[in-house]
Structure 1
Amino acid sequence: MKKEILKIALLFLSITSSSTFAQETLDAFLKDQPIIDMHFHITKGYGDNEIYRHLNVDIDSAKLYWAIEDYKKNNVVLALGGGPLKYAKMYAGAERLFWSGLIFPCTKTVEQDKPCEKEFYSESELREIYQRGNFKSLGESMFNYYGIPPADKRLEPYWKIAMEYDIPIGIHADSGPPVERVNKEERPNYNPTYANPELLKPILKKYPKLKLYLMHYGGEYSDQSLNLMKEYPQIYCEISAVSMFLPKEVWEPNVKKLFSEGLGDRLMFASDYFGTVRKNIEIIYNLDWLSEEQKRDVFYNNAARFLELSDSEIREHRKKLN
Structure 2
Amino acid sequence: MIRPYPIILFILLFAACQTKDNTKPEDKSSTGRYEGPIIDMHLHADFLEDYGGGGPICVNRGKVILPGWDPEKALTMDSVIRCDIQVPSSESNEALTTETLEMLDKHNVYAVTFGTPERVGEWHEKSPKRIIPALSFTSEKSARYTLSDYKKFHEAGKLQVFAENGAQYHGKTLNDKAYDSIWSLAEQLDIPVGVHLGEGPPGGAHLLGGSSPSAYRVSLGSPFQLDEVLIKYPKLRVYVMHFASPLVDEMIAMLYSHPQLYVDISQNNWGFPRAHFYSQLERLINAGFEERIMWGSDQMVWPETIEVAIETIQEAPFLDPSQKQKIFYTNACKFLRLSNEEIQSHKDYN
**TM-score under structure 2 length normalisation:** 0.72
| CA positional deviation for 1:45 | 5.4
Q: Give the partner amino acid of 1:160.
A: S
Q: Is 2:161 the counterpart of 1:132? A: no
Report if aligned partners of 1:241, 1:271 keep a CA contact under 8 Å in 2. Answer: yes
| Counterpart selection for 1:39 from 39, 42, 45 | 42
Name the CA distance, whole Å, in 2 between partners of 1:214 and 1:48. 27
Highest relative contact order (Cα 8 Å, sep 6+), 1 or 2? 2
| CA positional deviation for 1:133 | 4.1
The corresponding residue for 1:83 is 115
| CA positional deviation for 1:319 | 0.7
Q: Secondary structure at the match of 2:136?
A: strand
The corresponding residue for 1:10 is none
Q: Is 2:150 the counterpart of 1:121? A: no
Name the CA distance, whole Å, in 1 between partners of 2:54 and 2:164. 25
Which stretch has the larger CA shift, 250-259 or 139-148?
Answer: 250-259
Residues 1:241 and 1:205: Cα distance change in structure 2 (over 3 Å): same
| CA positional deviation for 1:263 | 0.8
| Counterpart selection for 2:198 from 174, 179, 194 | 174
Q: Which runs of 5+ in 1 are unaligned?
A: 1-24, 54-58, 108-115
Residues 1:216 and 1:48: Cα distance change in structure 2 (over 3 Å): closer
Q: Give the partner amino acid of 2:327.
A: V
Report how many residues are paired.
280
Any idea what the Cα deviations from partners look like across 1:248-299, whole Å, max 9, x if unmatched? 3433222222122211111111110331111001100111111111112211
| Counterpart selection for 2:96 from 60, 63, 67 | 63
Q: Give the partner amino acid of 2:193.
A: I
Name the CA distance, whole Å, in 1 between partners of 2:153 and 2:96. 24
Name the CA distance, whole Å, in 1 between partners of 2:295 and 2:212. 29
Name the CA distance, whole Å, in 1 between partners of 2:247 and 2:170. 19
Q: Which runs of 5+ in 2 are unaligned?
A: 1-29, 56-87
Name the CA distance, whole Å, in 1 between partners of 2:146 and 2:309. 36
CA RMSD in angstroms comes to: 2.6
| Counterpart selection for 2:175 from 145, 151, 159 | 151
Q: Give the partner amino acid of 1:81.
A: T
Q: Is 2:350 the counterpart of 1:318? A: no
Residues 1:185 and 1:96: Cα distance change in structure 2 (over 3 Å): farther
Residues 1:120 and 1:159: Cα distance change in structure 2 (over 3 Å): farther
Q: Is 2:105 the counterpart of 1:101? A: no
Q: Is 2:297 the counterpart of 1:271? A: yes
Name the CA distance, whole Å, in 2 between partners of 1:185 and 1:155. 28
Residues 1:204 and 1:318: Cα distance change in structure 2 (over 3 Å): same
The corresponding residue for 1:285 is 314
Q: Secondary structure at the match of 1:149?
A: coil
Name the CA distance, whole Å, in 2 between partners of 1:126 and 1:298. 30
Report if aligned partners of 1:213, 1:235 keep a CA contact under 8 Å in 2. Answer: yes
Report if aligned partners of 1:173, 1:195 keep a CA contact under 8 Å in 2. Answer: yes
Name the CA distance, whole Å, in 2 between partners of 1:295 and 1:40. 20
Report if aligned partners of 2:206, 2:214 keep a CA contact under 8 Å in 1. Answer: no
Percentage of matched positions with identical amino acids: 28
Report if aligned partners of 1:148, 1:194 keep a CA contact under 8 Å in 2. Answer: yes
| CA positional deviation for 1:218 | 7.0
Name the CA distance, whole Å, in 1 between partners of 2:182 and 2:159. 13
| Counterpart selection for 1:72 from 105, 108, 113 | 105
Name the CA distance, whole Å, in 1 between partners of 2:284 and 2:54. 40
| CA positional deviation for 1:93 | 3.7
Report if aligned partners of 2:291, 2:327 keep a CA contact under 8 Å in 1. Answer: yes
Q: Give the partner amino acid of 1:243.
A: N
The corresponding residue for 2:286 is 260
| CA positional deviation for 1:213 | 1.0
The corresponding residue for 2:336 is 307
| CA positional deviation for 1:222 | 1.3
Residues 1:185 and 1:163: Cα distance change in structure 2 (over 3 Å): farther
Report if aligned partners of 2:197, 2:244 keep a CA contact under 8 Å in 1. Answer: no
| CA positional deviation for 1:70 | 1.1
The corresponding residue for 1:203 is 229
Report if aligned partners of 2:238, 2:260 keep a CA contact under 8 Å in 1. Answer: yes
**TM-score under structure 1 length normalisation:** 0.78
| CA positional deviation for 1:154 | 2.9
Any idea what the Cα deviations from partners look like across 1:78-103, whole Å, max 9, x if unmatched? 10021123223333444121112212
Report if aligned partners of 1:138, 1:167 keep a CA contact under 8 Å in 2. Answer: yes
Report if aligned partners of 2:168, 2:197 keep a CA contact under 8 Å in 1. Answer: no
| Counterpart selection for 2:220 from 194, 198, 216 | 194
Name the CA distance, whole Å, in 1 between partners of 2:54 and 2:319. 40
Any idea what the Cα deviations from partners look like across 1:159-208, whole Å, max 9, x if unmatched? 12211222221111214344123234477322232221111112112111
Name the CA distance, whole Å, in 1 between partners of 2:212 and 2:100. 26
Name the CA distance, whole Å, in 1 between partners of 2:296 and 2:347. 19
Residues 1:63 and 1:243: Cα distance change in structure 2 (over 3 Å): closer
Report if aligned partners of 1:106, 1:120 keep a CA contact under 8 Å in 2. Answer: no
